Every structure is written in structure tokens, then in C-alpha cells.
Amino acid sequence: MIVRGVWRRAGDLPRWVLAGELGLLFFVGPMVYFFAVRSPGLLFPALWAFFAYTLAVLLLDPTFERRTLWNFGAMKRELGRLLAIFGVLGALLAGAVYAFDALTDGDPIFLSLPRERPTLWLIIMVFYPMVSVYPQEVIWRAFMFHRYRTLFRGRWAMIGASAVAFGHAHVVFHNWLAVGLCVIGGVLFARTFDRSRSTLASWIDHALYGCLVFTIGIGRYFYSGAAHG
């Protein structure tokens, strides 16, 4: 029934079917990848296959407002707020990594990628927001908020569900730092999406923190080869 119902409008499906689908896609799926997949090269194909599936479901649902996939006007209204929050939280995160370096005797990680591999760093800064961040925002924000809105009472329940699912997906990197930071980040990005109903706004929010993570030296915990290197 779940398989037959995925192309139907969310409002036409029983809540137990939607709950089962949510659990299967967002919790069982990452665990299967965690235990069964040994090739880091499969992560991006898996992400893009999931992105294509969720986007197709959204576009085939006549109740989905397609403007949500960009909503440029709402993004402009949110931009000042999210930049201000990023300025504070980004500085705190960068300071924490710098302090970690100062308190440990190992090789310094702060700014290690731009210092040691500047070309790779530039490539990540340009392409990571497009090939990784936007698909994630369609999946964990636009799709989740539309498809499963009837399962959660209240906006913060929906924000929390999105954040937990987003953090859980990062078990594929086989480290708890990625999971923990992505739960926190997931709250920020889901809150931005909830306020704006703009995937573009949450994409900018996500891209800012993601690029910062790679810049300050902890991107190694979010690299598809980290679990296998």
C-alpha cells in the first residue's frame, strides 16, 4: 500500500501510511546505507536519486505550491535575519575549532583545507551548495514539511522532526559530530523554511554553515570518504 500510495496526494493517505513511509525513507534508509554500503562513491548518487524521487512526488501533487522551491521574495525578507544569526553562531563555531587546536598537541585543523588544498577548497565553495545543499533542502525541508505536515501538531513538532531526520541521515559518515551538528543545523534550516516557505532561503542558510564547516577544518567529518578512509 505504501508503494502504491507514494504518487498520491499526502492528504489522501491514512496517517499510518504516511508515518510508515516517513520511517522507511528517513530512518530505515540511512541505517541500511550505514550497514550495507562500503563505497563512498555511492553517497552522491544515492542523494540525487532520493532528491529526484522527492521532487517528482512534490511536482505530481496538485496541492503542492511549486513556488516553495524558490520563493525569492520570502528569501529576501529572511536574508538579514539568517545572516545575523550566522554571524554569531559561525563565529562561535570557528572559535571553538581554533580553541580546540590551541588546547591539543595534534596537527592543527583550523583552516586546514584552504591552507593545504586551496584548489579543492575553492571547488567545494562553488559546487557544494549546488550539488549537495539544494537537493538536501528539497528533501528534508520542502518534501518533509509538505508530505508529512498532518503527522505533526504544531510548527515546532514539524521543525523538530525535520531536524532529527536530517541529523539521523548523517549517520552515513560514521561519526557523532556530523550527526550532532546536523541536528542543530537542521533546527536552524527548518526554522528558516517554516518562517519563509522558501527552499531558497533554507538553501542559503544551509550553504553558509556548510561552507564554514569545510573552511574551518571540520569538513573531514562530513566527507563521503571519512567513514572509509
For the chain, what are the domain ranges? 2-222
pLDDT band at 8 (very low <50, low <70, confident <90, very high): low
Q: Report pLDDT for 4.
A: 44
Q: Report pLDDT for 13.
A: 87
Q: What is the pTM of this model?
A: 0.93
- Say how many residues make up the chain: 229
In angstroms, what CA-CA distances link 88 with 9, 94, 188? Answer: 40, 10, 13
What percent of the chain stands above pLDDT 90?
88
Distance, in Å, from the CA atom of 149 to the CA atom of 18, rounded to the nearest integer, reads 10
In angstroms, what CA-CA distances link 220 with 12, 99, 119, 226? Answer: 43, 18, 16, 6
CA angle 18–19–21, rounded 5-degree value:
65
Cα 53 to chain centroid distance, Å, stands at 16
Rg of the chain over Cα atoms, rounded to whole angstroms, equals: 18
Q: What residues contact residue 123 under an 8 Å CB cut-off, 6+ apart?
A: none
Q: String of b and e for 161-182 (b: at least 16 CB within 10 Å)? A: bbbbbbbbbbbbbeeeebbebb
* 5-14 contact pairs (CB < 8 A, 24+): 6/57, 7/57, 7/60, 9/61, 9/62, 9/63, 10/61, 10/63, 10/146, 10/147, 10/148, 10/149, 10/150, 11/63, 11/150
Average pLDDT over residues 166-173: 97
pLDDT band at 9 (very low <50, low <70, confident <90, very high): confident
Q: Report pLDDT for 223.
A: 82
